[in-house]
Amino acid sequence: MDGRSLIQPGGPPWVGTAVDWQRRYTTDEAKLDLTIALSRENVDRETGGPFGAAVFEIPSGALVAVGVNSVVRLRNSMCHAEMLALMTAQQRRDSFTLAPPGVPAHELVTSCEPCAMCLGATLWSGVSRLVFGARREDAEALGFDEGPVFPESHQYLRDRGIEIVGGVRRDEARAVLQLYLSRGGTIYNA
Amino acid sequence: MDGRSLIQPGGPPWVGTAVDWQRRYTTDEAKLDLTIALSRENVDRETGGPFGAAVFEIPSGALVAVGVNSVVRLRNSMCHAEMLALMTAQQRRDSFTLAPPGVPAHELVTSCEPCAMCLGATLWSGVSRLVFGARREDAEALGFDEGPVFPESHQYLRDRGIEIVGGVRRDEARAVLQLYLSRGGTIYNA
- Report the 10 Å Cβ neighbour count for A150: 14
Q: Rounded to a whole number, what is the distance in Å from the CA of A186 to chain B's nearest CA?
A: 12
Q: Please identify among residues 88-147 of chain B the ones whose CB lies closer than 8 Å to any CB of chain A.
A: 88, 90-91, 94-97, 115-121, 123-126, 145, 147
**Which residue has better confidence, A2 or A171?**
A171
Pairing verdict, β A52-58 and A105-112? antiparallel
Sign, CA dihedral B2-B74-B38-B27, equals negative
Q: Could you tell me if B4 lies within 8 Å of chain A, comparing CB atoms?
A: yes
Evaluate whether residue A122 is within a structural domain.
Answer: yes
Return the residue of A nearest to B88 by Cα.
Answer: A6
Q: How many angstroms separate the CA atoms of B134 and B144, rounded?
A: 13
- B42 Cβ contact partners less than 8 Å away, ≥ 6 residues apart: B11, B12, B48, B49, B50, B51, B52, B68, B69
Evaluate whether residue B3 is within a structural domain.
Answer: no
**Which residue has better confidence, A4 or A43?**
A43
Tens-digit pLDDT profile for residues A61-82: 999 999 999 999 999 999 999 9
Q: Could you tell me if B76 lies within 8 Å of chain A, comparing CB atoms?
A: yes
Tens-digit pLDDT profile for residues A95-138: 999 998 888 999 999 999 999 999 999 999 999 999 999 999 99
User: Is residue A6 very low, low, confident or very high in pLDDT (cuts 50, 70, 90)?
Assistant: very low
Evaluate whether residue A129 is within a structural domain.
Answer: yes
Question: Which of A77, A119, A126 is nearest residue B77 as measured by Cβ atoms?
Answer: A126
In this complex, do B148 and A147 lie within 8 Å of one another by their Cβ atoms? Answer: no
Backbone dihedral region for residue B165 (phi beyond 0: left; psi -120 to 50: alpha; all else: beta): beta
Q: Could you tell me if A76 lies within 8 Å of chain B, comparing CB atoms?
A: yes
* Average pLDDT estimate for B137-161: 96
pLDDT on residue A1? 28
In this complex, do A1 and B7 lie within 8 Å of one another by their Cβ atoms? Answer: no
pLDDT surpassing 90 at residue B179: yes
pLDDT on residue B96? 95
In this complex, do B124 and A117 lie within 8 Å of one another by their Cβ atoms? Answer: yes
pLDDT on residue A10? 52
Task: Provide, as residue numbers in chain B, all residues whose Cβ is less than 8 Å from the Cβ of A189.
Answer: 97, 123-124, 126
- A53 Cβ contact partners less than 8 Å away, ≥ 6 residues apart: A35, A38, A66, A67, A68, A80, A81, A82, A84, A85, A108, A109, A110, A111
Task: Please give the single-letter amino acid code of residue B177.
Answer: L
pTM of the model: 0.95
pLDDT on residue B61? 97
Q: Rounded to a whole number, what is the distance in Å from the CA of A30 to chain B's nearest CA?
A: 22
pLDDT surpassing 80 at residue A7: no
Query: What's the number of domains chain B is made of?
Result: 1
pLDDT on residue B1? 28
Tens-digit pLDDT profile for residues B27-62: 999 999 999 999 999 999 999 999 999 999 999 999
Q: What is the 3-state secondary structure (H, E, C) of B67-116?
A: EECCHHHHCCCCCCHHHHHHHHHHHHHCCCCCCCCCCCEEEEEEEECCCH
Q: Please identify among residues 144-173 of chain B the ones whose CB lies closer than 8 Å to any CB of chain A.
A: 145, 147-150, 152-153, 156-157, 160
3-state secondary structure of A178: helix
pLDDT surpassing 90 at residue A52: yes
Of A13-22, B47-56, B137-146, the one with minimum mean pLDDT is A13-22
In this complex, do A5 and B9 lie within 8 Å of one another by their Cβ atoms? Answer: yes
- Structural domain range at position A148: 15-178
In this complex, do B5 and A2 lie within 8 Å of one another by their Cβ atoms? Answer: no
User: Is residue A37 very low, low, confident or very high in pLDDT (cuts 50, 70, 90)?
Assistant: very high
pLDDT on residue A190? 61
pLDDT on residue A186? 87
Tens-digit pLDDT profile for residues B7-17: 545 568 788 77
Q: Could you tell me if B15 lies within 8 Å of chain A, comparing CB atoms?
A: yes
* Average pLDDT estimate for B95-109: 93
* Cα atoms found within 13 Å of the Cα of residue A176, Cβ hemisphere only: 31
CATH number for the domain spanning B53: value is 3.40.140.10
Evaluate whether residue B144 is within a structural domain.
Answer: yes
pLDDT on residue B190? 61
Evaluate whether residue B190 is within a structural domain.
Answer: no
pLDDT surpassing 90 at residue A5: no
Evaluate whether residue B35 is within a structural domain.
Answer: yes
User: What is the value of ipTM here, to two decimals?
Assistant: 0.94
Burial of B66 (0-12, 13-18, 19+ CB in 10 A): buried
Task: Provide, as residue numbers in chain B, all residues whose Cβ is less than 8 Å from the Cβ of A128.
Answer: none
Evaluate whether residue B189 is within a structural domain.
Answer: no
Of A36-40, A145-149, B18-22, B109-113, the one with minimum mean pLDDT is B18-22
pLDDT on residue A103? 86
A58 forms bridges with which residues in the sheet? Answer: A105
Evaluate whether residue A141 is within a structural domain.
Answer: yes
Q: How many angstroms separate the CA atoms of A82 and A116, rounded?
A: 11
Q: Please identify among residues 56-75 of chain B the ones whose CB lies closer than 8 Å to any CB of chain A.
A: 71-72, 74-75
Task: Provide, as residue numbers in chain A, all residues whose Cβ is less than 8 Å from the Cβ of B3.
Answer: 8
